[in-house]
Structure 1
């Protein structure tokens, strides 16, 4: 995840260069008479890395435009959400550190590890520094057999068992 404007500019320039190089390589291979399948084999890995980088740049741009729900996130994604909130608020890591009364290196470390292992107190401290008074953690959803999605708490199974018990 892109965490600073500097990282964004660097990755955006890389994406533009990758795009140019991929187009040049594709053209060379086409001129040499390679089939589309052969070209895909030759440049497929590079294209995948390029697409991942491009998605990361696009995600950063969406966050900067505020195209996400700042007040709701999945519990397992709270770390990346806190970073998005900081970016959306237009704060640097240093500015956040000053608001929190911690060192710049502490915020940098927290973000590098996406707040993994952060205490609830630390998360609340970050939210307060970002002027977010209330945030909802959406329940985790897990995939189960046949593509059905259910809440991890198993509430659906419990309700069905209760109905069976009442019916029988």
Structure 2
């Protein structure tokens, strides 16, 4: 997760808006000058990648704010990003989390920038307590698809049972 604060989110939204406007203006000029679709595609390749990344980051932050993500289960490789999403969803700033943990805001910022790389179980438990998270299931990465399939089968069986 690349956006860790409302300030970064607003900055990214503004950057996206400015770049989309720039792209639209340049596209209009290129069409007027007779550029082919292939030439236009090549010219915008890098900018379109940047725009795509900004849209993804903004969408991910908005999902975190709204709580539109699985809160109780996460694969081990996404744990750091998940902790950031939980903090954002709980409405805590990095400074507020730091206060709850008894560390400096700089430490929380550093941990989040590194997505809690090599986090100890002790530190993980302290963060979960500070975020008031009662349950978090951490699934090995290669087990997630099996777990998802089991959940889908159970949901399907439940629907059939209720219908019948």
Q: TM-score normalised by the shorter chain: which range applies?
A: 0.7 to 0.9
Cα distance per residue 1:138-161 (max 9 Å; x no partner): 23128xxxxxx779xxxxxxxxxx
SS of the residue corresponding to residue 74 of structure 2 reads strand
- Across the two proteins, how many residue pairs are aligned to each other? 145
Report the Cα distance in structure 2 between the residues aligned to 1:141 and 1:150, rounded to whole angstroms: 8
Give the equivalent residue in structure 1 for 2:79: 78
Cα distance per residue 1:4-34 (max 9 Å; x no partner): 1110010110000010001111111111111
- TM score, norm. by length of structure 2: 0.84
Q: What is the alpha-carbon root mean square deviation over aligned residues?
A: 1.5
Q: Compared with structure 1, are the counterparts of its residues 34 and 56 closer, same or farther at alpha carbon in structure 2 (3 Å cutoff)?
A: same
Report the Cα distance in structure 1 between the residues aligned to 2:142 and 2:24, rounded to whole angstroms: 40
Give the equivalent residue in structure 1 for 2:136: 135
Correspondence 1:111-130 to 2 at 5 A: 111-130=112-131
Matched, 1:63 2:64: yes
Report the Cα distance in structure 2 between the residues aligned to 1:150 and 1:113, rounded to whole angstroms: 28
Report the Cα distance in structure 1 between the residues aligned to 2:5 and 2:146, rounded to whole angstroms: 36
Report the Cα distance in structure 2 between the residues aligned to 1:138 and 1:29, rounded to whole angstroms: 50
SS of the residue corresponding to residue 116 of structure 2 reads coil
Give the equivalent residue in structure 2 for 1:154: none
The gaps in structure 1 that reach 5 residues or longer are 143-148, 152-168
SS of the residue corresponding to residue 141 of structure 1 reads helix
Work out which of the two has the higher radius of gyration on C-alpha atoms and give 1 or 2. Answer: 1
After superposing on structure 2, the runs of 4+ consecutive aligned residues of structure 1 that deviate more than 2 Å are none
SS of the residue corresponding to residue 68 of structure 1 reads coil
More helix by share: 2
Report the Cα distance in structure 2 between the residues aligned to 1:126 and 1:97, rounded to whole angstroms: 9
